[in-house]
């Protein structure tokens, strides 16, 4: 087989083969490590709300149920933790489907303006509770058609706007704008909230990565919101971008394809 190869060439080929195997092994090792870490993270994230709910229910069973004042308080806390658990499991399923690559995209024409107003209507109460104002640069009646997976883009906007509200202080403003870039539509979610220090910017899209663990936990959230956003935006052949200044606010943006009727 090697009739025409020099010994040197043979050595080179064998070396390349062995080297290839070595990096395959390294890759598998890396993957296994990643899986173990993910499982550890998931278990930890699941345990937190389970332990809390368990604690409140057992306290009730141990007698707190007879205390009129505490009864409702503990039940509400147990319910809140169970709701959080439900959200976490839903997000985990979404992430695991996406990472396994089994997401089928259903592209259809969507009026992104209408979508934004619909989400504003849904979130009005939440924004009001946080004393945050929701704004957009378009009128309700305007029509801006993009070709996207409607449900998934809905989720991207919900996740980004929820974060923008959550990480704003009272009196904050969250502005969602759509800017025509010629080829595509640029969707921008801007807040004037707490901001993100530069050293954390490229890590916030990782699963369960939080800038301030205790603060994010207290505010609530699964820690998976932005990793879901990244997956969905990339499935639309786009990239999620973020610019942020601590104390001034954050701006997340991504581009979507225009819908052009034939």
Q: Shortest gap between Cβ of 154 and ligand ADP (angstroms)?
A: 16
SS3 state of residue 18: helix
- Site residues for ligand ADP, 176-205, by CB under 6 A, read 191, 193-196, 204
Of positions 49, 84, 172, 223, contacts ligand ADP by CB under 6 A: 223
Q: Return left, alpha or beta for 65; rule: phi > 0 is left, psi -120 to 50 is alpha, else beta.
A: alpha
CB 148 within 8 A of CB 107: yes
Phi, psi of 192 (to 5 degrees): -115, 40
Q: How many residues bind ligand ADP (CB under 6 A)?
A: 21
Interface with ligand ADP, residue 167, by CB under 6 A: yes
Interface with ligand ADP, residue 210, by CB under 6 A: yes
Q: Shortest gap between Cβ of 191 and ligand ADP (angstroms)?
A: 5
Site map 106..125 versus ligand ADP, x via CB under 6 A: --------------------
Cβ-based nearer residue to ligand ADP, 159 or 238: 159
Interface with ligand ADP, residue 49, by CB under 6 A: no
Closest CA to 88 of 222, 213, 227, 218: 222
Site map 124..163 versus ligand ADP, x via CB under 6 A: ---------------------------------------x
Q: Shortest gap between Cβ of 225 and ligand ADP (angstroms)?
A: 3
Report the residue closest to ligand ADP, judged by CB: 221
Burial of 4 (0-12, 13-18, 19+ CB in 10 A): exposed
Cβ-based nearer residue to ligand ADP, 95 or 178: 95
Of positions 222, 231, 233, 255, contacts ligand ADP by CB under 6 A: 222
- Can you tell me the distance from the alpha carbon of 116 to that of 120, in angstroms, rounded to the nearest whole number? 6
- Number of C-beta neighbours around residue 214 at 10 A: 8
How does 63-79 read in b/e, with b if 16+ C-beta sit within 10 Å?
A: ebeeeeeeeeebeebbe
Vertex 189 angle, CA 187 and 143, to 5°: 40
Cβ-based nearer residue to ligand ADP, 82 or 242: 242
Q: Which residues bind ligand ADP (CB under 6 A)?
A: 163-164, 167, 191, 193-196, 204, 209-212, 216, 221-226, 250
């Amino acid at each position: 087989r090697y009739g025409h190869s020099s010994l040197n060439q043979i050595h080179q080929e064998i070396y390349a083969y062995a080297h290839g195997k070595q990096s395959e092994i390294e890759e598998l090792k890396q993957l296994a490590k990643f899986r173990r870490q993910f499982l550890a993270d998931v278990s930890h994230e699941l345990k937190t709300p389970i332990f809390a709910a368990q604690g409140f229910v057992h306290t009730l069973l141990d007698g707190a149920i007879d205390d009129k004042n505490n009864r409702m308080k503990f039940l509400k806390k147990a319910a809140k933790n169970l709701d959080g658990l439900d959200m976490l499991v839903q997000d985990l399923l979404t992430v695991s489907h996406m990472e396994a690559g089994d997401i089928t995209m259903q592209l259809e024409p969507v009026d992104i303006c209408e979508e934004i107003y619909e989400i504003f209507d849904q979130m009005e109460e939440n924004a009001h509770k946080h004393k945050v104002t929701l704004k957009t640069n378009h009128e309700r009646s305007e029509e801006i058609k993009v070709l996207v997976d409607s449900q998934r883009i809905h989720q991207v906007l919900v996740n980004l706007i929820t974060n923008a509200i959550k990480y704003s202080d009272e009196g904050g403003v969250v502005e969602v704008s759509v800017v025509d870039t010629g080829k595509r539509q640029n969707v921008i979610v801007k807040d004037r909230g707490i901001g993100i220090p530069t050293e954390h910017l490229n890590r916030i899209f990782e699963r369960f990565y939080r800038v301030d663990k205790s603060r994010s936990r207290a505010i609530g959230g699964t820690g998976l919101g932005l990793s879901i956003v990244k997956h969905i935006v990339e499935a639309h052949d786009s990239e999620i971008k973020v610019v942020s200044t601590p104390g001034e606010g954050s701006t997340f943006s991504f581009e979507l394809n225009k819908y052009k009727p034939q």
